[in-house]
Amino acid sequence: MSEAIERFFESLPARAPQVLRGPVAGTIQIDLSKDNQTTHWLVRMAPGEIEVSQVRGPADAIWYNSEELFERLVTGRAQAIAAVLRNESTFSGNVVLFLAFRRFFPTRPGTRDPREVARQQAGRLR
């Protein structure tokens, strides 16, 4: 297991109050595969809080990834929705949990908020 992935999961509880503001609640199991072995992470989400364990258990959703892809996700070099749409990873279950969980991933280096870009453009036109 890469250090970036472990640090990512360790950081989730402290980041949850800022990221999970809406009424999302449920459990997502994230399965990471490498060399015919699968590591399981069980993430229980509730408004403003998250609980992470490295077990397999009952879940409302399951997200299957390669460890290499997940490392790209946690370092901002890939996007979760794009990976699912390209069939690089698969997801089953409550899609709301996937959409909420993806907000924990960092943005790609150099990415700017489109609202800020629009404000700057509007300011130049004045």
pTM confidence score: 0.83
What residues contact residue 45 under an 8 Å CB cut-off, 6+ apart? Answer: 16, 20, 24, 25, 26, 27, 28, 97, 100, 101
Contact assessment for residue 16 and residue 50, using Cβ atoms and an 8 Å cutoff: yes
Q: Which of 7-16, 47-56, 72-81, 112-121 has the least mean pLDDT? A: 112-121
Give bridge partners of residue 45 from the DSSP assignment. Answer: 26, 50
- Which tens digits make up the pLDDT trace of 85-99? 999 999 999 999 999
The C-alpha atoms of residue 36 and residue 113 are separated, in whole angstroms, by 39
Q: Under DSSP, is residue 51 helix (H, G, I), strand (E, B) or coil?
A: strand
**109 versus 70: which is more confidently predicted?**
70
List, in order of start, the domains of the chain with CATH numbers.
3-125 (3.30.1050.10)
The C-alpha atoms of residue 71 and residue 78 are separated, in whole angstroms, by 9
